[in-house]
Structure 1
Amino acid sequence: MPRTNAAALEFLKTRRSRPAKTLAAPAPVREELEALLTIAARTPDHGKLEPWRFVVIQGESMEKLANAAQATAEKLGYDTEQTAKARSQFDQGICAVAVIESPVISEKIPAIEQTYSAGAVCLALLNAALASGWGANWLSGAISHERGFVEGTLGLTPHERIAGLIHIGTETNTPPERPRPDVKAKTTWL
Structure 2
Amino acid sequence: MTTTQTASPLHALTSRRSVKFLRAPAPKQDELEQILQAAMSAPDHGALRPWRFVLIRGEAIGKLADVAIGAVKRSGDPRMTPEKEKSVREWMAAVPLFIAVAQKIAHDNTKIPEQEQLLATGAAAMNLLNAVHMLGYGAFWSTGMGTYVEDVQNALGLDSLDYRFLGYLAVGTPACAVPQATRPDFREFVTEWSGPV
**Distance (Å, rounded) in 1 between the aligned partners of 2:190 and 2:89:** 39
Q: 1:100 aligns with which of 99, 102, 119?
A: 102
Q: Contact 2:16–2:133 at 8 Å: present in 1 too?
A: yes
Matches within 5 A, 1:168-187: 168-187=171-190
Matches within 5 A, 1:1-190: 7-19=8-20, 22-79=21-78, 81=80, 84=85, 90-104=92-106, 105-141=108-144, 143-152=146-155, 154-157=156-159, 158-190=161-193
Q: Which amino acid aligns with 2:18?
A: S
Q: Contact 1:122–1:163 at 8 Å: present in 2 too?
A: no
- Structure 2: segments with no counterpart, 5+ residues: 1-6
Cα RMSD, aligned residues only: 2.2
Q: Contact 1:97–1:166 at 8 Å: present in 2 too?
A: yes
- Relative to structure 1, the CA distance from residue 175 to residue 25 in structure 2 (aligned partners, 3 Å threshold; closer, same or farther) is same
Deviations 1:57-77, CA, capped at 9 Å, x for gaps: 101111001011111121112
* SS, match of residue 161 in structure 1: strand
Q: Which runs of 4+ in 1 moved over 4 A?
A: 80-83, 85-89
- Relative to structure 1, the CA distance from residue 89 to residue 101 in structure 2 (aligned partners, 3 Å threshold; closer, same or farther) is farther
Q: Contact 1:145–1:161 at 8 Å: present in 2 too?
A: no
Q: 1:109 Cα deviation (Å)?
A: 0.7
- Paired residues in the alignment total 183
Which structure shows the bigger proportion of residues in helix conformation? 1
TM (norm. structure 1) is: 0.86
**2:4 equivalent in structure 1:** none
Q: Which has the higher contact order (CA 8 A, sep 6+)?
A: 2
**Distance (Å, rounded) in 2 between the aligned partners of 1:89 and 1:181:** 29
Q: Contact 1:140–1:165 at 8 Å: present in 2 too?
A: yes
Q: Which amino acid aligns with 1:155?
A: G
**Distance (Å, rounded) in 2 between the aligned partners of 1:129 and 1:54:** 15
- Relative to structure 1, the CA distance from residue 78 to residue 50 in structure 2 (aligned partners, 3 Å threshold; closer, same or farther) is same
**Distance (Å, rounded) in 2 between the aligned partners of 1:43 and 1:174:** 30
- Structure 1: segments with no counterpart, 5+ residues: 1-5
Deviations 1:13-49, CA, capped at 9 Å, x for gaps: 2222212xx2111112333212210111111000100
- Relative to structure 1, the CA distance from residue 106 to residue 87 in structure 2 (aligned partners, 3 Å threshold; closer, same or farther) is farther
